[in-house]
């Protein structure tokens, strides 16, 4: 089931990038980063079996995913605002 979700999210990401026009590419870029964060979470929890880890480890994994995605999105938005 997780593998199917990962494949569907990959197809969605590719579709967003390929079909998106230049005006939508900014939004699509942010959505692709969010999709990548969701995919990372699924891989870490299910394939690396972090869902069986102690709560503090799982909290660290999930926080790391949130911080990385947030940093990428904030950096991208700030770069767009600068130029």
Q: Please write the tens of the pLDDT for every residue from 32-60.
A: 999 999 999 999 999 999 999 999 999 99
Please give the mean pLDDT across all residues of the chain. 92
Tell me the average pLDDT across 7-35. 88
Residue with tokens 């998106």: 20
Q: Encode burial over 18-33: b for 16+ CB neighbours within 10 A, e otherwise.
A: eebeeeeeeebbbbbb
Contacting residues for 58 by C-beta, under 8 A, at least 6 apart: 45, 50, 51
Q: In this predicted model, which residue has the larger pLDDT, 10 or 21?
A: 10
pLDDT level of residue 23 (50, 70, 90 thresholds): low
For tokens 């770069």, name the residue.
79
Tell me how far CA of residue 68 lies from CA of 10, 18, 39, 52, 75, in angstroms.
19, 24, 13, 23, 11
Query: Would the pLDDT of 67 be above 90?
Result: yes
């Amino acid at each position: 089931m997780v593998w199917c979700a990962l494949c569907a999210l990959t197809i969605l990401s590719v579709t967003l990038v390929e079909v998106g026009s230049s005006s939508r590419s900014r939004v699509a870029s942010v959505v692709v980063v969010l999709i990548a964060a969701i995919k990372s979470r699924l891989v870490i929890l299910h394939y690396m079996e972090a869902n069986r880890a102690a709560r503090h480890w799982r909290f660290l994994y999930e926080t790391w995913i949130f911080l990385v995605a947030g940093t990428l999105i904030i950096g991208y938005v700030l770069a767009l605002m600068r130029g």
